Chains A and B, each alone.
Chain A
Amino acid sequence: MVDGRGAIRFHPEGIDVPFVPGESLLAHAIRGGVPLLSPCGGESRCGKCRVLVSGGTRGGEEPGTLTRAEIASGIRLACRCFPTEGEVSVTILPGSRPARLAAYLDGTDLAGDEPFLPLSRAASGGVPLGVALDLGTSTLAGTLVDLSDGTVLSRATADNPQMACGEDLISRVVFAEETTGGFELLRGRLLSGVDGLVRRLLETSPAQGEITDVVAAGNTVISHFLYGISPSPIRRPPYHPVRKEYPIVPGETLGTGPATARAMWRIFPSLGGFVGGDVVAGILASGMHRQEEVSLLFDVGTNGEVVLGNRDWRIACSSSAGPAFEGGEVGCGMRAYPGAIESVRIDPESSAAEWTAIGRVRPAGLCGSGILDLCAELFRAGIVDRGGRFTSRDGDGRRSTERGEAFVVVPGEKSATGRDVVFCESDLKSVLRTKAALCAAAEALLAAVGLPREAVARVYVAGGFGNFLDLRSALTIGLFPPIPLARFAPLGNASLAGALGALRNRRRWKEALSLASGTLYHDLSSDPGFMELYQRGLFLPHTDEESYRSVLAAEVRVYP
């Protein structure tokens, strides 16, 4: 029992949350809107919800995750810690607070020399404005456009507040099913995240006006939440979404805030349970649906979607690759914001690592592109073998940690936290699984239609690595199939670019609807060949290493 105050106080904000018996500290935080990282959605998997507790609590002293020193000093995992008695005061540790992304908007612009054909006429009062949104699983991104002449007025990003209820989509669907009021909570968080983003766009815009149109791209689960549709059927056989096309409605029907309540909202159609409007928007941005040549499109993120096809036919799937390239599942992983190492080189002689971090500040961890580089460099330098295990070389910048042997990327004295930034075998295993799933998804699509890899003329890469992506590193570890580097075209945030394109040219919106109906959804979980392709990918760069060698030539050094 908690004392008469009946509330848990969260610091540093000083927020009081009413005590509910039987609920963990994390659940209290979520309910009270206290920002606390919980990528695994409270499922006690990630170890990131660290808090400093004083007062009567039980639990949360996970010996596998917290060190003895941490436990002794009062640090607990909020998801496993329950308040029992007396005053309870909880301080969110710095490493457990979500933060803002630096730059996440380098999408290719679709406009080019296209005519400007906005969706709406001028608004009743003032300048007509349009908002293009990318409703990502982890990050929301938006662009504000002057619909009278097509100028981009402002850009913004924000974390998707649904993250606290689950980092991946399945976790969120489960949360919606199993927590009382979970669906409404998730829906509300999405809407409030979107409203907050729109507010920022307006605040930072040089021109004011009235938002008349919003075009949004999100995956199927997110689109369902937005429309108030339960996404549960997606999780159960036959894994079909409740709907794939979403009616055009004013924002107030969806429950959005006043800024967009009267605007007409268009959400890109979904292709299937796990491939949504964000991929449709990405296809639109790439232009692969207008070309005769066959292309691959990768959207590298937690869902790891892949599309294969051309103007006549397209087939798409989701590999559920895992968040390793978004900073999840990897101990030193973080999203691409200041302090994130985005590029790494390792000297093969000394095993010393050099890095560049976003914002040129002391590094706190690695973002997707940094993790990719690190893995490629460890392999090139012979520090790990093809299976991702450390080799037995001495003087390797390695030390042992609670999570096993690890490579020290940044020694404590140079890091932002004062602790070593380390990368261990199980982190590399997470990366291996992510990249194997993505690569296998592409191979599965090629096998499903019966095309050889050589038939792919172009490879578009979209996704949340951060500011850029080193293709050589990608092929060194086998993130993509061994296709000549010259055929690759990085797109940045293609979903946002597609939304923007549709906002500025109404023909693009119609094009999106039409390309969606002509794109086949391929369910990998029922593809009998996928697991084998996946197993083949769990090797650096791949079990079929011969093809990678010819693509990379001198890039990959085999450990002598």
Chain B
Amino acid sequence: MALTAIDIYKLLPKTNCKECGQPTCLAFAMQIAAGKASIELCPPASEEAKEKLSAAAAPPLPKVTIGTGEREVVLGDETVLFRHEKTFYHPTAIAVSIRDDGSDEEFASRLAAIRRLSFERVGQRIAVDLVALRCASGEAGRYARAAAAAFEATGLPLVLFAPAGPLAAAVEAVAPSRPLLVPTPEDLLPAAKLAAERKLPLWVRAGGIEGLSVALADARAAGAVSLVADPSPETPRDAVSLATDLRRLAILGRVRDLAYPSAFDLGGGFPDPFLAAALLVAKYGSLLVLDSADPADLLPLLTLRQNLFTDPQRPIQVEAGVYAIGTPSESSPVLITTNFSLTYFTVRGDSEAAKVPAYLLIADVDGMSVLTAWAAGKFTGESISKMLAECGIGEKVSHRTLILPGMVARLSGRIEELSGWRVLVGPQESSALPSYLRRLPPAAFLPVHG
């Protein structure tokens, strides 16, 4: 919403009556500004207020869904141009293509290759989302059978690239799976009618923004509602430019007639498809179709997507665990701090500057700094003792001495009590680590017997 809380507040009754569930009208205004509440919740609001705020609250870029159930793909529904302004909600959907004119073995083998484009990274599954079926045969029956087989084998929603006849046949075969219909520009109207009848999403292809303006209007006139817009760029450069135009039209311009998720077919001889795909993942591409099923291409693209579509407001964290500074031995000091990335970088840098090999334990506290994590109860005697027992540091060092950040010296007794480790209180400021570490008596790190 472009309106600030104070702008919204001015439209409210200002009685603090609490009917909306908020303690004051200002609180309610802040909720509306954040998109977390609707003006409907305020019965005494004026008609003018309701009108103004409902209009402003309508999403600038509508949502389009393809497929159903667990594999459903959601496009659009974005509110900002840059992820740091809030976040991007729906990752660029990636489809890998298959043709219907090969042998059964080729077909099956290609489907298997597509199924293998599914990887696990940092505890999340990243995978190709859709199968794009190209009608190379021209035969309706063959195409329809291929569609059914592709869906059966992969379970992934389909993107059906076909002329009118085969398209209709395929729809008969796989309509419940909610495929995306991709007619040729000449066949737009019959496909739009089909999409309208069957309530399926439709890919509208035209030349440039002006062309799309007409084509989208035609599709809407035929009754189709769920649309994605393909401005048919010829180079990666055009693609980025047009994707940006479409996104700006929706979010900045609020031009409803052009506010649709964007779609790009980067196969079929499109120049530099990998380059285009990478840039479009970063810049406003909602759905991409690729002809390559090479994991060397897809893994980086899927990783890029995974990275860019995380919520930037989560604090930067590093992975918790045991980190080595230099080459530590079993009598090297053991330090501990939190996994807020700035804390990690600072402490790590200062430890390295000390030139004293050591182990640095990084505790998982949802990316908070040391004091914040302590105050929030996430960095406690209990949690630290638990980490000492579970992270495997006991196998790496023969002593049982832990150096604690000075800011939480108060935890030392509890840690000693619970873990049996001895605790030394380190400096309050990480910048004092070099002199602290250098002055440590080696006797502190003698092996513990038994």
Q: Contact: B6 with A449, CB < 8 Å?
A: yes
Q: How far is the CA of A41 from the CA of B408 in the complex (A)?
A: 12
Q: Are B412 and A235 in touch, CB under 8 angstroms?
A: no
Q: What are 7 A-to-B residue pairs whose CB atoms are below 8 Å?
A: A313-B9, A314-B26, A320-B375, A429-B429, A450-B33, A517-B23, A525-B372
Q: Are A451 and B407 closer than 8 Å at their CB atoms?
A: no
Q: Is the CB of B436 within 8 A of A64?
A: yes
- Quick check: B24 and A520 within 8 Å, CB to CB? yes
The interface size of chain B toward A, counting residues with CB under 8 Å, comes to 36
A522-536, CB < 8 A from B? 525, 528, 531
Q: Is B103 positioned at the interface, with any CB of A under 8 Å from its CB?
A: no
How far apart sit A314 and B372, CA to CA, in the bound complex (Å)? 26
B410 close to A (CB within 8 Å): yes
**Within B114-147, which residues are at the interface with A (CB < 8 Å)?**
none
Instruction: Determine whether the beta carbon of A313 is less than 8 Å from that of B26.
Output: yes
Are A44 and B23 in contact (CB-based, < 8 A)? no
A174 to B375 CA separation, bound complex (whole angstroms): 9
Q: Could you say which residues of chain A place their CB within 8 Å of the CB of B428?
A: 45, 426
A37 to B317, CA, bound (A): 38
8 Å CB interface, B191-216 against A: none
Determine the chain A residues whose CB is within 8 A of the CB of B427 once the complex forms.
64
Do the beta carbons of B33 and A315 come within 8 Å of each other?
no
Residues of A within 8 A of B315 (CB): 531
Contact of B429 among A40, A426, A525 (CB under 8 A): A426
**A237 at the binding interface (Cβ < 8 Å):** yes
- Which of chain B's residues have a CB closer than 8 A to the CB of A314? 26
B221 lies within 8 A of chain A by Cβ:
no
**Which residues, 307 to 333 on A, are CB-close (under 8 Å) to B?**
309, 312-315, 320
What is the chain A residue whose CB lies nearest that of B340?
A531
Question: Count of A residues near B, CB < 8 Å?
Answer: 36
A236 touches B377 (CB 8 A): yes
Q: Is B27 an interface residue (CB 8 A)?
A: yes
Q: Which of A44, A236, A518 contacts B425 (CB 8 A)?
A: A44
Whether, in the assembled complex, B150 has its beta carbon less than 8 Å from a beta carbon of chain A, the answer is no
**A519 CB contacts on chain B under 8 angstroms:** 24
Interface residues, chain B, with chain A CB atoms under 8 Å away: 3-7, 9, 14, 16, 23-27, 29-30, 33, 313, 315, 372, 375-377, 406-407, 409-410, 412, 414, 425, 427-429, 431-432, 436, 439
Determine if A43 is an interface residue (Cβ-Cβ < 8 Å). yes
Residues of A within 8 A of B376 (CB): 237, 525
A45 cross-chain contacts in B, Cβ below 8 A: 406-407, 409-410, 428
Q: Which residues of B contact A309 (CB under 8 A)?
A: 26
A485 CB within 8 Å of chain B: no
Residue of A nearest to B425 (CB): A44
Given known contacts A43-B409, A44-B409, A449-B6, A313 and B372 CB-to-CB distance under 8 angstroms: no
A93 / chain B contacts, CB cutoff of 8 Å: none
Looking at chain B's contact residues, is the secondary structure mostly helix, strand, loop, or mixed?
A: helix
Cβ B409 vs Cβ A528 within 8 A: no
Q: How far is the CB of B57 from chain A (nearest CB, A)?
A: 16
Min Cβ gap A26→B in Å is 12
Contact with B along A439-462 (1 / 0, CB 8 A): 000000000111100000000000
Task: Say yes or no: A174 contacts B33, CB within 8 Å.
Answer: no
Q: A64-B425, A309-B26, A531-B315 are in contact. List 13 more A-B contacts (CB 8 A).
A: A40-B410, A41-B410, A45-B406, A64-B436, A171-B410, A313-B25, A426-B429, A448-B30, A450-B3, A517-B24, A519-B24, A520-B30, A525-B372
**B407 adjacent to A518 (CB under 8 Å):** no
Q: Residue among B7, B26, B376, B377 with the most chain A CB within 10 A? A: B26
Partner of A63, one of B406, B429, B431, B439: B439
Contacting pair B4 A449 (CB below 8 A): yes
Shortest distance in angstroms between A328's beta carbon and chain B's nearest beta carbon?
13
Q: Is A551 an interface residue (CB 8 A)?
A: no
Q: Does A471 contact B (CB under 8 A)?
A: no
Instruction: Tell whether, in the assembled complex, residue B429 and residue A43 are in contact, meaning their CB atoms are under 8 Å apart.
Output: no
Write the chain B residue with the least CB distance to A433: B371
Closest to A403 in B: B432
Q: What B residues does A517 contact at CB under 8 A?
A: 16, 23-24
- Asked whether A170 is an interface residue with its Cβ less than 8 Å from the other chain, the reply is yes
In the bound complex, how far is the Cα of B30 from the Cα of A528, in angstroms? Answer: 14
**Complex alpha-carbon distance, A519 and B27, angstroms:** 9
Set A40, A404, A426, A451: member contacting B4, Cβ < 8 A: A451
Residues of chain B within 8 A (CB-CB) of A237 are 376
Report yes or no: B439 in contact with A313, Cβ–Cβ below 8 A: no
A312 and B410 within 8 A (CB): no
* Separation of A518 and B25 alpha carbons in the complex (Å): 9
Is the CB–CB distance between B377 and A235 below 8 Å? Answer: yes
Contact B409 A449 (CB under 8 A): no
Tell whether, in the assembled complex, residue A312 and residue B14 are in contact, meaning their CB atoms are under 8 Å apart: yes
Take A449-B9, A450-B5 as given contacts and tell me if A518 and B24 are in contact as well, using a CB distance cutoff of 8 Å. yes
Closest-by-CB residue of A relative to B33 is: A450
C-beta contact mask, A166-178 vs B, less than 8 Å → 1, else 0? 0000110010001
CB distance from A147 to the nearest CB of B (A): 33
Closest to B25 in A: A313
CA distance A426 to B26 in the complex (A): 40
Chain B hits for A43, CB < 8 A: 409-410
Q: How far is the CB of B15 from chain A (nearest CB, A)?
A: 10
B192 to chain A, nearest CB (A): 42
Please indicate the chain A residues that have their CB under 8 angstroms from the CB of B23 in the complex: 517, 520
**Residue among A178, A448, A517 with most chain B CB within 10 A:** A448
Tell me the bound Cα distance from A533 to B429 in angstroms. 21
- Set A171, A174, A426, A451: member contacting B6, Cβ < 8 A: A451
Q: Residues of B contacting A40 with CB < 8 Å?
A: 410
Most central of A41, A517, A520 by chain B CB within 10 Å = A520
B313 contacts across to A, CB distance below 8 A: 528
B280 to chain A, nearest CB (A): 28
User: Judging by beta carbons under 8 Å apart, are B5 and A449 in contact?
Assistant: yes
Contacts of A429 in B (CB 8 A): 429
Contact B412 A449 (CB under 8 A): no
Shortest C-beta distance, B438 to chain A (Å), equals 12
CB proximity of B430 to chain A, nearest CB, Å: 11
Please report the C-alpha to C-alpha distance between residue A61 and residue B51 in the assembled complex, in whole angstroms.
71
Complexed CA–CA distance, A41 and B409 (Å): 11
A449 vs B10: C-alpha distance in the bound complex, in angstroms? 11
CA distance A63 to B438 in the complex (A): 13
Q: How far is the CA of A449 from the CA of B31 in the complex (A)?
A: 10
| Measured CA separation A170–B408 after assembly (Å) | 12
Q: In whole angstroms, how far apart are the Cα atoms of A517 and B315 in the complex?
A: 33
